[in-house]
Structure 1
């Protein structure tokens, strides 16, 4: 869940698919995308800290999640999310939290909203569900956003603009046999209105203020993580091909492909190394705000944005106790294809450190803070689980 920096708004939240879950991406997107754990962290069976597992998973509890926004894109602000957790019908409510045991994915229903000092705001409702022993997974989000953002363009000159509209996201995945592979359809819709405060940038071409982004696509993913919120081992990979067409409700035709992979490996008893690669590619008449961009802690997203993007990042974690861990991270990325060639594109970088506390032991849900340094600025992020999603 991204936080922010000492600078004002300069970072556009995750749009395209993320436009449908933008306020959750700014605050707690591991809950909407990573959703629940497969296995418990190894330390869970010996932890003695404060834990909300029984209340949330067995007592029909609702978890209020405060949203502290220090996001450079939309300024400082506050919000709240109300989340209801429930176990699937075939889940064992008395399942012990022993190391290596497979836990059930909780179903999550929630509402959330936020507002910031730049007059940005958003509200959304979400639901995630799994059926047939996690063979079928569904994620759905609907929401409304009004964001004051910054566009940089060819010369990296900040130009403020406003983006508002209604967003919707649906994804249904099916497991392939007894494997760790999932495949299924995705649909994203964003009815947007865009307005630049001081005129349209000269590198914008044919600017259209009113646009509907409606994409259908196919998602293929592989998941061997021991826990989806805060993994200590395993791999998550996802490949997405999306097509925006008039028949789906889009005002322009374009294509977007993305591929990402995260891998975690234990080093000794207390250390975990995480590696990340992330890429995005686009073709056709794509709106400027829907283009791929570099996402790194310490780097204003959408500051490095173009037709394509490539990013890599590493993270090293030390589990100081069963409940507490500290980590360091560093990454680089480039956006290229239209404004810049790959060799001429500026390099985005970010590095820093953080900590996590194991908040909900039975599903491995952690919360903490990351502090990062990027090109010309510092940033801090209030994180729920891993920032990689």
Structure 2
């Protein structure tokens, strides 16, 4: 039963960080269930394996979704015992809301863990909801979009648990449908017809967590500056600065307090609406649709208490406090947004403590949202 749950609920995780959780997850499944019968060594690689997996997930933005994924893992021939497995995957999924995504995440460690390359290539045919920009919320508007996307981080270890490198991102965003008579259809919103972003900047990461999937102590931090420039192939110029800091503190042998500070700050004019700083989604302010609030800047505080209750069952209680801002006021601390909720955790793999995550988040005075995915929010 445990094996069935772990594989059926192998879900798509969009974010990437220095240790590429989505790739480590698949490698953990392979190792845990001895799905390595295809491993063969070659001149350049060792410990190779190929693993097919079904995909199931449920988010407010997609409804239920399903698909398939194939992943290959390997290590370089000359790397030693401390080397982490590299991975290249390819998957497709189709959602209840008639959205399609094809994606190929990759995570490569070379020369043991000295060099690290992580990213994703994908194509998305989606529909999203738009609620306006800033504090001026409008009735929700559904729009369709097609876009290819490339994200890549190339980094080198420069100290203990510390990496520095270059981050690149490309996205060609083409709006395919809007609602007649509404704000996006008017063409007055930047990027409401199409936008092309091509961004290149520096990134610094530090990770002292004692585990990747369920940390009980330590910190994870990333800071990056990502200029989008016409010189790089974009259709406009702007700059993004991001800080992501998470801390994990044990309160008891079975209780962990996880906290997260996240800030996204954009400089420039005519920034496309899809590239603004977004609040909401499965990781930032659960309870809100992704992009429920958007502006040039946001500042977010999150806290979650995680309880290991019984054997493979856990519970959580979480809350988030977010603020928007722009060029006139960096952060509008007088206009907070608040969400809270609770969740159930089902341990799918004991060794790595990988959990199936079922969360229900609420914004006061509005209906809640259900999330079914895998791994913790932060």
Equivalent residue for 1:146, pick from 125, 144, 152:
125
Q: Does 1:347 align with 2:327?
A: no
Partner in structure 1 of residue 101 of structure 2: 122
Give the Å deviation of 1:365: 3.5
- Paired with 2:340 and 2:75, the residues of 1 have a C-alpha distance of 38
Q: Deviations over 1:336-368 (max 9, x none)?
A: 32798714545142322221314272x554333
| Alignment RMSD (CA, Å) | 3.0
- Paired with 1:110 and 1:360, the residues of 2 have a C-alpha distance of 24
TM-score, normalising length from structure 2?
Answer: 0.80
Q: Which has the higher strand share?
A: 2
Aligned residues of 1:60 and 1:86 also touching (Cα < 8 A): yes
Name stretches of at least 5 consecutive residues in structure 2 with no aligned partner. 1-10, 40-46
* SS state at 1:319 partner: strand
- Paired with 2:129 and 2:304, the residues of 1 have a C-alpha distance of 29
Name stretches of at least 5 consecutive residues in structure 1 with no aligned partner. 1-25, 45-49, 93-102
Q: Does 1:286 align with 2:271?
A: yes
Q: Does 1:384 align with 2:363?
A: no
* SS state at 1:247 partner: helix
- Paired with 1:265 and 1:293, the residues of 2 have a C-alpha distance of 27
Equivalent residue for 2:304, pick from 292, 308, 315:
315
Change (3 A) 1:142 1:205: closer
- Paired with 1:206 and 1:134, the residues of 2 have a C-alpha distance of 42
Q: Which moved more, 1:166-175 or 1:349-358?
A: 349-358
Change (3 A) 1:322 1:160: same
Equivalent residue for 1:175, pick from 147, 157, 164:
157
- Paired with 1:334 and 1:277, the residues of 2 have a C-alpha distance of 12
Partner in structure 1 of residue 238 of structure 2: 254
Give the Å deviation of 1:221: 0.9
Q: Deviations over 1:155-196 (max 9, x none)?
A: 33211111211111111111113x221110011000111242
Give the Å deviation of 1:208: 5.1
Change (3 A) 1:130 1:364: farther
Give the Å deviation of 1:76: 3.4
Change (3 A) 1:180 1:254: same
* SS state at 1:377 partner: coil
Partner in structure 1 of residue 323 of structure 2: 334
Partner in structure 2 of residue 55 of structure 1: 35
Change (3 A) 1:146 1:255: same
TM-score, normalising length from structure 1?
Answer: 0.78
Change (3 A) 1:196 1:180: same
- Paired with 1:108 and 1:126, the residues of 2 have a C-alpha distance of 8
Change (3 A) 1:372 1:88: farther
- Paired with 1:360 and 1:105, the residues of 2 have a C-alpha distance of 20
Change (3 A) 1:278 1:32: closer
Q: Deviations over 1:210-263 (max 9, x none)?
A: 221111111111100111222121100010101011111100100111101001
Change (3 A) 1:30 1:158: closer
